[in-house]
Structure 1
Amino acid sequence: MPTGLVALLDDVAAIARLAAASVDDVAAASMKASSKAIGVVVDDAAVTPKYVSGLSPARELPIIWRIAKGSLRNKLLFLLPAALLLSAFLPWAITPILMLGGLYLAFEGAEKIIESVLGHSHAAALQDEAAESPQALEDKKVGGAIRTDLILSGEIMAIALSEVSDQPITTQAAALIAVSLLITGGVYGVVALIVKMDDIGLHLARRQGGVLPALGRGLVKGMPVVLSLLGKIGTVAMLWVGGGILVHGLEEFHLTTIPHAAEAVAHAIAGLMPFAPGFGAWLGFAVASAIVGLVIGGLIAVVVPPVKRLFAKKA
């Protein structure tokens, strides 16, 4: 009963199977994946632009390039060997690892909502950023983006691995490399386009005559709204993706109370949308997953600060 990123990762897994068929099929699999992975691109594209906010426009593309390189390093140097070792020796551990990633995403999403409601942490963060040098702030934001990417990349690799685990180890490696390159290129290509859209608008606005100047002015005025909206979508995406992973994992362990409740919500909303029952079922399960992510992530967000203060006091 996958949804959100989990549903799209099922498609990525199908791409991995295609890539595993033969070396000649890798190119065809990559072309097919460019349309199938759009949900993953939306999730990452919604989260990543915040990491260049508050920095010099001249540093936007270099920062995205640094994050993209970090993403590839996550996938190829750390996650790929770990995935192959899991496949060979601990295949049962894939689902628990996925669930740990889901807990982290749910925690991040819930923490952002709590901070936006209280406002204090956000204001303090802005003060801290203002006190940092541009290079230190850039390094901090790049590090945060790469850590978040590590979780999302881990989910991609684990789901793709689960679909090619019956293949020879060399074929598994080739399939996972193909998926890694495809997803990284797609995600950060779209992110680069989003963050530079205002510069494109400014260039068009300087044109003489025609509709291009008006289009350019519209892009310049609209991009702050778009980026703000993407930040909110990113927070919701963390909750629905993290919650969806947790629901899916509970179902794998035959703990069916929460999965059945999510399925009931999906059926109920599908019943309210007889003109598009498939979309209604997806929307219902996405909403249920986001609620699960918010509740579980909120509990973690409440517990983490006192624990951190306790350890800090002991230190």
Structure 2
Amino acid sequence: MAGASLLTLLDDIATVLDDVAAMTKVAARKTAGVLGDDLALNAQQVSGVRAERELPVVWAVARGSLYNKAILVPIALALSAFAPWAVMPLLMLGGVYLCLEGMEKLAHPLLHDKEEDAAHEAELSAMLADPALDPLVMEAQKVKGAIRTDFVLSAEIIAITLGTVASATFSSQLVVLAGVALIMTVGVYGFVGLLVKLDDIGFYLLRQGGRLRSLLGRGLIHGMPWLMKALAVIGTVAMFMVGGGIISHGWPWLHHAIEGVVHPLSHLPGIGALARLLLPAILDVLVGMLAGTLALLLLLSWQRLRR
């Protein structure tokens, strides 16, 4: 009898773990849209820091990110337990915020002229060249700024994850939210640490000599700016796709409209499989761009009224 009870308990635990693993994979896939922007932003935050201080700065921001998620996960669990009706509105707000952030990036050349950007870069260069500037003070400011940025991105990740597991049991929600928070933090800041050291690895390979090492070293050094630009572009597209997907799933009529477009095309010979694979993502991006445009227009109107 005791053995049967133990086997039943183990079976229940295995079932729960299987469900948790499946939900964690779904949540990680949905939050992947935030990661491209997260990687690019955090790698940019440590620019201007001395090479030997890059990894300590990344580690300091990673600790701050864990503190952020340690605050956000209990809040998310409390919302799910005591105000489950608030999960979907918050998720929709997070989706709109993602779309707004993506549209602000696209509209940056229209909202800020080149002279303004050049003046900002000149001010930053002058500050870095000032011998009276304490590097540790500047480093602390960069860490604080990166942790503030991470709080917003972490809130997006936790909100999207909570929407994925909203109907699960409390224990499953806790395991999935904590697991996603830990995996995302380790994954993002581990990769950011690698990104900021790629140029140093390139210079190291150049100093080692040899044709192959020199070729790899130059490739890493010259490829870093292109990699950062590619991450920014991928992150922006992913923000529209994830944000648009959240909005379309939050409004059933819009979700059914997208399905109504995809379903007939998915049965066409030759292109059906491709349409079924790509068209939902493309339509989610378009929904995200439309939502981001409307949100940006509202934000600009509000800012103008306040002035």
- Which TM-score bucket, shorter chain as reference? 0.7 to 0.9
**Amino acid paired to 2:230:** L
Could you say which residue in structure 2 is the equivalent of 1:138?
142
Note the alpha carbon deviations across 1:33-68, whole angstroms, 9 max, x for none: 689947745741444323443423535434433432
Distance 1:177 1:208, change over 3 A: same
Please say if residues 201 and 218 of structure 1, whose CA atoms lie closer than 8 Å, have aligned partners that are also in contact.
yes
Give ranges in structure 1 of 5+ residues lacking alignment.
1-20
Distance 1:65 1:280, change over 3 A: farther
Give the SS at the match of 1:162: coil
Tell me the distance in 2 between the aligned counterparts of 1:212 and 1:64: 27
Candidates 162, 165, 168, aligned match of 2:166: 162
Matched, 1:149 2:153: yes
Could you say which residue in structure 2 is the equivalent of 1:221?
222
Tell me the distance in 2 between the aligned counterparts of 1:276 and 1:193: 40
Please say if residues 48 and 145 of structure 1, whose CA atoms lie closer than 8 Å, have aligned partners that are also in contact.
no
**Amino acid paired to 1:76:** A
Distance 1:195 1:148, change over 3 A: farther
Could you say which residue in structure 2 is the equivalent of 1:100?
93
**Amino acid paired to 2:296:** A
Tell me the distance in 1 between the aligned counterparts of 2:228 and 2:269: 31
1:108 deviates by 0.7
1:234 deviates by 1.4
Question: Pairwise mapping of residues 1-315 of structure 1 onto structure 2 (< 5 A)?
Answer: 22=13, 37=28, 40-41=31-32, 43-53=34-44, 54-56=47-49, 58=51, 59-77=53-71, 79-116=72-109, 118=110, 120=112, 124-125=116-117, 127-128=119-120, 130-131=122-123, 133=127, 135=138, 138-139=142-143, 141-143=145-147, 145-164=149-168, 167=169, 169-170=170-171, 172-209=173-210, 211-251=212-252, 256=253, 258-267=254-263, 270=266, 274=270, 277=273, 280-311=275-306, 313=307
**Amino acid paired to 1:282:** L
Give the SS at the match of 1:56: coil
Tell me the distance in 2 between the aligned counterparts of 1:275 and 1:309: 47
TM-score, normalised to structure 2, is 0.75
Give ranges in structure 2 of 5+ residues lacking alignment.
1-11, 129-137
Structure with bigger gyration radius? 2
Distance 1:86 1:50, change over 3 A: closer
Tell me the distance in 1 between the aligned counterparts of 2:268 and 2:115: 42
Alpha-carbon RMSD: 3.6
Tell me the distance in 2 between the aligned counterparts of 1:175 and 1:196: 31
**Amino acid paired to 1:115:** H
Tell me the distance in 1 between the aligned counterparts of 2:270 and 2:156: 34
Please say if residues 99 and 246 of structure 1, whose CA atoms lie closer than 8 Å, have aligned partners that are also in contact.
yes
Please say if residues 73 and 158 of structure 2, whose CA atoms lie closer than 8 Å, have aligned partners that are also in contact.
no
Moved more, 297-306 or 260-269: 260-269
Give the SS at the match of 2:89: helix
Identity %: 36
Could you say which residue in structure 2 is the equivalent of 1:10?
none
- What is the number of equivalent residue pairs in this alignment? 281
Tell me the distance in 2 between the aligned counterparts of 1:119 and 1:35: 36
TM-score, normalised to structure 1, is 0.74
Tell me the distance in 1 between the aligned counterparts of 2:290 and 2:284: 10
